[in-house]
A and B are shown apart, each in its own frame.
Chain A
Amino acid sequence: MKRKILVNVVGVLLAFLLGAVVMLVQGYNPLETYYRLFEYSLAPGKIAYTLSKSVPLVLTGMSASVAFASGPINLGQPGQLLMGALLATIGGLYIDLPPLLMIPFLLMLAMLGGALWSGVAALLKYWFNMSEFITTLMLNMIADFFTYWAINYPFFEANANHPQTPFIARSGWMPEWGNFNSSVIVMVLAFAVIWFIVNRSTAGYEWRLSGQNSLFSRLGGVNISKNYLVVMLLTGALAGLAGGLVVMAGPHRFIKDIGGNYAWDGVMIAMVANSGIILTLVFGFFFSVLQTGSLGMELITAVPKELIQVLQAVIVLIVVAGRGYFETFFAKLEARRKMRERIA
């Protein structure tokens, strides 16, 4: 356990070191830049905002984590997020309920949207054995264009300069207290549910087993194709939920590029977290710290915030490579120790 934490921390530090070298080459002061980065996102008044911004990252991250750990290579989070956001927006445009009913209703719609989209890929695999790895990627592009069409034509806000929908009903806005958005509560609930399913339920046990050795679990009596469908639908719903919350907590309408880079960041988070649920939460928050802080960094030190995008990818590559490298390194040490014991 300690070793795992060490590997992650060392990997992140190495990536930061590399980032510092890049900054030095370009004549920036890395220490000040990093200080501003963390100051902007972790200062007492800011941390609630950073936490709120981590919601889509953690949710898409969990979607990818659960999928990767259970076998399906669901890379469709970007599309599922958009479809979830679209469905929640449509619900919010045409239906108005008291907030206590409205918010859960829209969240359900968002999850339904995401699950529908991942369901398409799941059924293509189930019926025709088409690899979800490519189909989800293609469905991402299709969802991208489809939602863009939806906000351009059927749900277009008249008189707007940009393609966007009108505001959703006020009752569907996630309540906000200062910088703290209540979408964080939904995220924590989703995290608890997913953690429980994966770690404490029979289904989760079967998923993890199938993820590690599909043949073994099939021979052990696990219904592989049913689990596959359930995992795809669940992970799609998680990504859809992220999309719904982005709309309900943020601009309260579907605007162009609303999905941003959340979903791909989520995939990276799942990879760097080695598909662990708790680590996904940690890294999701950490990535949010980087992204929120990057705004402050750009404001004060003139280092473009795009640098953070590079830094994230470098963190993923170094931490994952380091994990494998350290594991063989420690295994070698162990073997050498045993050898010595035997000789002595």
Chain B
Amino acid sequence: MNIIIGLINGMITSATPILLAALGGSLTYYAGIFNIAMEGMMLGGAFFGMLGSYYFHSWPIGILFAILGAILMALIFILFAVVLKMDEFITGIGLNLFSVGATTYMLRQIFKVKGAFSSPEIVPIPKIDIPWIKDIPVVGEIISGQNLIVYLTLLATIAVSYLVFKTRFGLRLRAAGYNRTSLDTSGVSANRIRVWSLILCGVLTGLAGSFLSLGYVTLFSEGMSAGRGWISLAAVILVSGNPTGIALISLLFGFTDGLGLFMQRSLPSQFTSMVPYVATLIALFVYSVRLKKKQTI
């Protein structure tokens, strides 16, 4: 029983940052932006989140800084891809590498360390115990006692789904991706919608970043996003941006990650660490086989 609870909690923990970043990617996906900068935004968020929490000894300010940091990265993306009309792919790669470089540089410059910075003065984001529910055996251990960000992620999934499909902004967002000219001619600037989708993406990836550096560990290490942004991109592509689908896929990836940890008893850790990436490949494989079947029918 404990193993299963551990597996499920592990799944939730590793799914959270992927899901948050993928929700951000979903918004830009609907707006028709080939946004591959989630990795860099998340890393920026993780760094600034740690910075805010360290200097102000407060996790809410940490989260705020994380969001602002990721928005800063999003603004750079906006400057190059939307304002200067540079290729989105090149902007994304450039921004990701800029983010790695800038956070490494600041880590060195501000904290005088290389590799990683950890300090007891970094205040983590708390876990939330839900009264009543926490006393229920098994279910209570899963539903209650998760990190605050986990619950926020759940809310964000519903909110993004509502935003995209039920609001005027969502309609315009999808129009911007579907046919931007007709949106422009109807009097709504497609570029403005794109800018907003990128800023919202910054908010969500910033939350993801804060979860990385202030969630279960309180430290920042170079390149700590470790490909999660790319996995979230794969998730977005796999379900064509649908938020509910993204949530399911992210949980699946989270599950394989937890499974990897579990398998460490019998396999070298290098192989178990590969699991999420292999799972992404398998998911892409299933997706393309299904697509092929659909096309032949």
Contacts and interface: CB of A to CB of B under 8 A. Distances in A.
Q: Do A and B bind each other?
A: yes
Interface of A: 26, 73, 75, 124, 128-131, 134-135, 137-139, 141-142, 145-146, 148-149, 152-153, 264, 267-268, 271, 304, 306-307, 309-310, 312-314, 316-317, 320-321, 324-325
A215 B93 CA distance: 26
Contacts of A146: 270, 274
Interface residues of B, number: 41
Given A129-B288, A134-B284, A309 B105 contact: yes
A317 B98 contact: yes
A142 B272 CA distance: 10
A138 B230 contact: yes
Contacts of A312: 97, 101
A307 B106 CA distance: 9
B101 A309 contact: yes
B277 A306 contact: no
B86 A320 contact: yes
B199 interface: no
Contacts of A137: 227, 230
Interface string B229-244: 0100110010000000
A75 B93 CA distance: 10
A304 B84 CA distance: 31
Nearest to A315: B94
B168 interface: no
Contacts, number: 112
Contacts of B265: none
B108 A304 contact: yes
B94 A320 contact: yes
B90 A320 contact: yes
Interface string B75-116: 010001000111101110111011011101100110000000
B233 A134 contact: yes
A327 to B, nearest CB: 11
A325 B277 CA distance: 38
Contacts of B234: 134, 138
Given A138-B230, A309-B104, A320-B90, A145 B84 contact: no
Contact of A320 (B87, B100, B109, B233): B87
B279 to A, nearest CB: 9
Given A124-B281, A324-B86, 6 more contacts: A134-B234, A134-B237, A138-B277, A142-B274, A271-B94, A313-B97
B191 to A, nearest CB: 16
B205 interface: no
Contacts of B58: none
A128 B289 CA distance: 7
Contact of A138 (B76, B80, B90, B280): B280
